[in-house]
Structure 1
Amino acid sequence: MPTQEEIELQAAAFRRLQKHLMEDRTDVQNIDMMNLAGFCRNCLSRWYAEAAAEKGIEIGKEEARELFYGMTMAEWKAKYQTDASGAQQEAFAKAFEENVGKD
C-alpha cells in the first residue's frame, strides 16, 4: 500500500499534468492526444470519476469534465478546440475502440 507521502507525490504529479494540459498546452487537441497516446483530457476526467466511484462518491460525466477542465466542456470547445480532419476522425475511431472500448 502506498504511503501517505507517495499518495501526496502522486497527487502533485497529477495536478502538474492537469495544469500542463489545461493551461500550458491548450493548443494540443484531445483528438491528437487520443490518436497518439491512447488517452486525452476526457479520459483523465473519466478516470477521476471512476476513482471517485471506487470511494462511493458519484460524479457524473459532465461534472467530472468541469472539475478537470475548470470550465464546462462547451466553454473549452469554444476557446480551444478546432475542427478535426477526416483522417483525425478515422484515427480517433480506431484509437477510441482500442483504448476505451466500443461506445
Structure 2
Amino acid sequence: MDDQTRIELEAAAFRRLRKHLMEDRRDVQNIDLMNLAGFCRNCLSRWYMEAAQERGIDMGKEEAREIYYGMPYDQWKAESQTDATDAQKAAFDEAFARNVTKDG
C-alpha cells in the first residue's frame, strides 16, 4: 500500500470514529470513555491540535475542540454530558494520571 492511500484510510477511520462518538453514541460520557479506554473525545481534539501544531498551524485547545465537536465545547457539554458520580470522578483521576499526565 502506498503512503497516500494509507493516510487516506487512516483519515477515513478517524472520521468514522468521530461520527460514531459524536452521532451514533452521544450517550457515552467522556468520563466513561476515559475510565475504560484511557482516552475520550477531548483527547481526540487535543491530538488533533497537537498534530496541527507539529505542522506549524497555530491552534489552541478551544479551537480544536470546536473543530472536533462541531460546536463550542460548552454547548456540546450542556447538550450531551451528565453530571459525574463520585465513583466516576475517582476513577477519572486515576485514569487521567495514568494516561494523560504520565510525562509530567
TM-score, length-scaled by structure 1: 0.95
Deviation of 1:55 after TM superposition, in Å, equals 0.5
Equivalent residue, structure 1, for 2:10: 10
The unaligned stretches of length 5 or more in structure 2 are none
Letter in 2 for 1:57: I
Equivalent residue, structure 2, for 1:96: 96
Secondary structure of 1:11's aligned partner: helix
Deviation of 1:46 after TM superposition, in Å, equals 0.2
Letter in 1 for 2:17: L
Equivalent residue, structure 2, for 1:44: 44
Letter in 1 for 2:77: K
The unaligned stretches of length 5 or more in structure 1 are none
Secondary structure of 2:71's aligned partner: coil
Counterpart-to-counterpart distance in 1, 2:58 and 2:4: 24
Counterpart-to-counterpart distance in 1, 2:74 and 2:56: 28
Letter in 1 for 2:19: K
Give per-residue Cα distances to partners, 1:9-28, cap 9 Å, x unaligned. Answer: 00000000001100110000
Equivalent residue, structure 1, for 2:73: 73
Letter in 2 for 1:93: D
Secondary structure of 1:46's aligned partner: helix
TM-score, length-scaled by structure 2: 0.95
Deviation of 1:74 after TM superposition, in Å, equals 1.0
Counterpart-to-counterpart distance in 2, 1:75 and 1:26: 13
Counterpart-to-counterpart distance in 1, 2:42 and 2:12: 19
Equivalent residue, structure 2, for 1:61: 61
4+ aligned runs moved over 2 Å, structure 1: none
Letter in 2 for 1:29: Q
Deviation of 1:91 after TM superposition, in Å, equals 0.3
